[in-house]
Amino acid sequence: MTRFVQPGPALRDPYTADPQLRGWLDRLLGEDGHAAAGQRLSDLAAEVLGPLREAHHDAETHPPTLTRFDAWGQRIERVDTSAGWQAQRAAAARHAVVALPYLPDARDTWGPGARVVQHALLHLWGPESATFSCPVAMADGAAALLARTGAQGEWLARLTATDPAVAVTSGQWMTESQGGSDIARSTTTAAPDGSGGWVLTGDKWFCSAIDSAMAVALARPEGAAAGSRTLVPFLVPRYAADGRAPAPGLQVLRLKDKLGTRAVPTGEVRLDGVPAFPLTDPAEPGLAAMMTLVVVTRLHNAAAAAGGMRRGLEYALAYAAERTVAGGLLADNPLHRATLGGLAVDAAGAFALAAHGFALLGRAEHGDRDAAAELRLAAPLAKLTTGRLAVASASEYLECFGGAGYVEDTGIPRLLRDAQVLPIWEGTTNVLSVDVLRALATGDGARPVLNRLTAATDAATHRLPGVAEALATAAGRLAADLATAAADPRNPRVVAGARELALRLGHALTAALLLEHAAWAAERGEERPALLASLWILRRLGNADISADLHAGFDQLV
Ligand code: UCC
Ligand code: FAD
């Protein structure tokens, strides 16, 4: 008897097979700038296809363990991780996934565009990183904070090292059991140690990558007023001077048993007089400085969402090219093509938002005030919009595999588990929506995003008249609702609508970004970006049924 065995999905080279990534790099860096990054990106893509996929699988199937005491009762708080996790750690350093924007030669070559190259690295590597992208994000956020404050230069050098023997990652300890969103309720205190230093006391409830060499922890200095603003970021060395024993007074109470991100050791930590170094003046409010770190990690979150969506699409496409249904290949079935086409449009939108966030971050870090003003709104929009898209898409990717998508050792269920954390950590969708309301009511508010929307709509009027009209109608309604919200952001009706408004704004910003790229690509004779932009606008802003267009345009879309 011949037994049928379905071939599994074979992954294409994630760099060469991603026309959107390549096109955006050409536009944002110029062709020479893109060429200068080519070798880095090809090298990483090659590793993703081989050793890093294996390391990813190893780390996912060998979760971390915590040993609190040795045989004699000595407290050791040892976290053991898999060989795969260690391989990811080394790869992250070697490929400069954190370091790139801080390297002098990268800054010389690409200027603010070094952040664009970094985003490309994350896009290729993140989905096969066993979520080592999490400590990478926190290390980058910590490095940005240290670079801004000028504190703890030795730690900055280690966070941005490319030698795996030297490089370290960081944790980000904000959440306490009584409040993760509402960190004003934090009770961790900072007190002088009597010899010029500081010690922290309190419990931190979710500490991802607890194997990291350091963390940035929020604490309230003795005597500081209540509220969130007065919290101060402190650098906490995780280990004692020998690099193995826990820092004095630090206990890892247990590791979380989580739905996803299973390779990441996430601990509950008790701080009982643990030595720490203030990163800002402890006599002054420190939360605003901490947000330097948080903006960076939120953009990494958007990159993880977009990267995961593109990789999910790649796996689903590969499967559709092999799987037979109703007498033909799944990839030729009109209904399945429309399903995958919709996912391709959403993946393109998520990529545009994440890429824009990193481009703005690079410019803001180089002193561009307009970019900084737009980033204030674009960062929460990118995080919350891509987080929701990633969860919806991951559910569809599983279904694209039928029953196989629900079976653990195909590796597919992980897509859904790991997507589900993206709208939770680094601020939930609702919390970020409230943050958007706050941003709308201060400084430049929605103006940078609305200007971008108007310019993109005007530019599309001749080339894509129907689409431009749909966008103009949506933008008009949105501008009126944004003005109402900005005028009275605490009004319960406005607060109740914050999520809907933020998502509409996120979708509109995405439309503008896709149209900007389409206009540039049209000059080079490329039609795919215009199709993606049009279908995004009709799907996400026009509420139109575009299934037939998705089927017809499928080969161009993917
Ligand atoms: O989850 C975490 C790590 C997970 C693992 C890492 C994953 C990385 C990605 C991986 C990819 C694979 S760490 C925990 C994250 N937790 C949060 O994000 C907290 C969520 N809560 C908020 O975001 C809240 O909005 C707060 C706590 C930041 C602020 O809320 P409050 O207490 O109501 O306070 P206010 O009044 O809104 O803001 C206080 C100050 C103000 O500044 P000043 O004092 O100058 O007026 C605000 O302008 O903070 C400033 N501020 C901001 N500044 C608040 N939000 C922002 C902002 N987004 N940007 C700049
Ligand atoms: P709550 O704040 O209690 O939220 C409960 C619900 O209330 C949510 O639906 C939320 O949207 C809603 N809500 C809260 N405030 C508002 C509001 N103002 N308006 C409307 N709705 C609101 N934290 C760290 O500090 N460091 C880490 O390394 C870390 N790692 C994590 C790893 C994982 C796997 C997970 C799941 C979480 C991690 N967290 C970490 C914690 C994470 O940041 C918080 O869980 C998150 O910020 C939400 O806080 P909470 O759990 O206290 O929920």
Q: Look at residue 485 and tell me whether its pLDDT is greater than 90.
A: yes
Q: Look at residue 55 and tell me whether its pLDDT is greater than 90.
A: yes
- Report the pLDDT averaged over residues 393-419: 97
Q: Look at residue 168 and tell me whether its pLDDT is greater than 90.
A: yes
Q: How far apart (Å, rounded) are the C-alpha atoms in residues 255 and 261?
A: 12
Report H helices in 488-546. Answer: 492-496, 498-523, 528-536
| Cα(431) to centroid(ligand 1), Å | 9
pLDDT score for 333: 97
pLDDT score for 542: 84
Closest CA to 414 of 130, 221, 192: 130
Q: How far apart (Å, rounded) are the C-alpha atoms in residues 185 and 179?
A: 6
| Cα(291) to centroid(ligand 1), Å | 6
Write the pLDDT tens digit of every residue in 542-555.
888 999 999 999 99
pLDDT tier for residue 1 given thresholds of 50, 70 and 90:
confident
Helix (H, G, I), strand (E, B), or coil: what is residue 131? coil
pLDDT score for 465: 84
Q: How far apart (Å, rounded) are the C-alpha atoms in residues 529 and 24?
A: 10
Write the pLDDT tens digit of every residue in 175-222.
999 999 999 999 999 999 999 999 999 999 999 999 999 999 999 999
| Cα(466) to centroid(ligand 2), Å | 41
pLDDT score for 462: 86
| Nearest ligand (C-alpha, residue 207) | 2
Closest residue (by CA) to atom 10 of ligand 1? 134
The backbone region for 373, taken as left when phi is positive above 0, alpha when psi lies in -120 to 50, beta otherwise, is alpha
Instruction: Yes or no: say if 88 and 167 are a contact pair by the CB < 8 Å rule.
Output: no
Closest residue (by CA) to atom 9 of ligand 1? 301
Q: Which residues line ligand 2 (CB under 6 A)?
A: 171-175, 179-182, 206-208, 258, 261, 266, 421, 424-425, 427-428, 430-431, 434
- Report the pLDDT averaged over residues 487-491: 94
393 φ/ψ angles, rounded to the nearest 5 degrees: -65, -45
| Nearest ligand (C-alpha, residue 430) | 2
- Report the pLDDT averaged over residues 383-401: 98
Q: Which atom of ligand 1 is nearest to the CA of 432?
A: 23
Q: For the stretch 47-56, what's the b/e string if a residue is b when 16 or more beta carbons lie within 10 angstroms of its beta carbon?
A: bbbeebbebb
pLDDT tier for residue 443 given thresholds of 50, 70 and 90:
confident
Q: How far apart (Å, rounded) are the C-alpha atoms in residues 91 and 71?
A: 34
Q: Look at residue 444 and tell me whether its pLDDT is greater than 90.
A: no
Per DSSP, the residues of 68-123 read EE-TTS-EEEEEE--HHHHHHHHHHHHTTTTTGGG-HHHHHHHGGGHHHHHHHHHH
Closest residue (by CA) to atom 47 of ligand 1? 288
pLDDT tier for residue 461 given thresholds of 50, 70 and 90:
confident
| Cα(393) to centroid(ligand 2), Å | 22
Q: How far apart (Å, rounded) are the C-alpha atoms in residues 22 and 11?
A: 18
| Nearest ligand (C-alpha, residue 498) | 2
Q: How far apart (Å, rounded) are the C-alpha atoms in residues 30 and 304?
A: 24
Q: How far apart (Å, rounded) are the C-alpha atoms in residues 101 and 96?
A: 9
Q: Look at residue 464 and tell me whether its pLDDT is greater than 90.
A: no
Mutation probe of ligand 1 site: the residue of 211, 266, 294, 495 with most atoms within 8 A of C-beta: 294
Q: How far apart (Å, rounded) are the C-alpha atoms in residues 455 and 476?
A: 13
| Cα(294) to centroid(ligand 1), Å | 7
For residue 222, the Cα-to-chain-centroid distance in whole angstroms is: 34
Q: What is the pTM of this model?
A: 0.98
Model ipTM value: 0.98
pLDDT score for 305: 98
Q: Which atom of ligand 2 is nearest to the CA of 209?
A: 28
What percent of the chain has a predicted confidence (pLDDT) above 70? 100
| Cα(426) to centroid(ligand 2), Å | 7
Write the pLDDT tens digit of every residue in 301-339.
999 999 999 999 999 999 999 999 989 999 999 999 999
Closest residue (by CA) to atom 42 of ligand 2? 425
Q: Which atom of ligand 2 is nearest to the CA of 204?
A: 25
Closest residue (by CA) to atom 27 of ligand 2? 207
Q: Which residues line ligand 1 (CB under 6 A)?
A: 131, 133-134, 137-138, 172, 174-175, 180-181, 183-184, 208, 228-229, 285, 287-288, 291, 294-295, 297, 300-301, 304, 425-427, 431, 435, 438
Q: How far apart (Å, rounded) are the C-alpha atoms in residues 501 and 459?
A: 25
For tokens 């536009």, what's the residue? 27
Closest residue (by CA) to atom 40 of ligand 2? 206
Inter-CA distances, 546 with 176, 444, 491, 535, 536, Å: 45, 35, 37, 7, 10
Q: How far apart (Å, rounded) are the C-alpha atoms in residues 457 and 461?
A: 6
Closest CA to 130 of 208, 70, 184: 208
Per DSSP, the residues of 38-59 read HHHHHHHHHHHHTHHHHHHHHH
Q: Which atom of ligand 2 is nearest to the CA of 428?
A: 11
Q: Any idea what DSSP says for residue 17?
A: T
Q: How far apart (Å, rounded) are the C-alpha atoms in residues 347 and 92?
A: 24
Helix (H, G, I), strand (E, B), or coil: what is residue 196? coil
| Cα(383) to centroid(ligand 2), Å | 14
Q: Which atom of ligand 2 is nearest to the CA of 424?
A: 46
**Average pLDDT of every residue of the chain:** 96
Instruction: Yes or no: say if 186 and 202 are a contact pair by the CB < 8 Å rule.
Output: yes
Chosen CATH of 170-285 out of 3.90.1300.10, 1.25.40.340, 3.40.1050.10, 2.40.110.20: 2.40.110.20
Cβ-based neighbour number of residue 369 at 10 Å: 10
Q: Which atom of ligand 2 is nearest to the CA of 256?
A: 34
Q: Which atom of ligand 2 is nearest to the CA of 174?
A: 25
Terminal Cα distance for the chain, rounded: 38
| Cα(337) to centroid(ligand 1), Å | 40
Write the pLDDT tens digit of every residue in 259-281.
999 999 999 999 999 999 999 99
Q: How far apart (Å, rounded) are the C-alpha atoms in residues 245 and 77?
A: 8
Mutation probe of ligand 1 site: the residue of 208, 291, 374 with most atoms within 8 A of C-beta: 291
- Report the pLDDT averaged over residues 403-417: 96
Domain ranges across the chain: 170-285, 436-544+552-557
Closest residue (by CA) to atom 8 of ligand 2? 428
| Percent of residues in the chain assigned helix, strand, coil, to nearest 5 | 60, 10, 30
Helix (H, G, I), strand (E, B), or coil: what is residue 275? strand
Angle formed by the axes of helices 429-440 and 465-487, nearest 10°: 80
pLDDT score for 396: 98
| Nearest ligand (C-alpha, residue 215) | 2
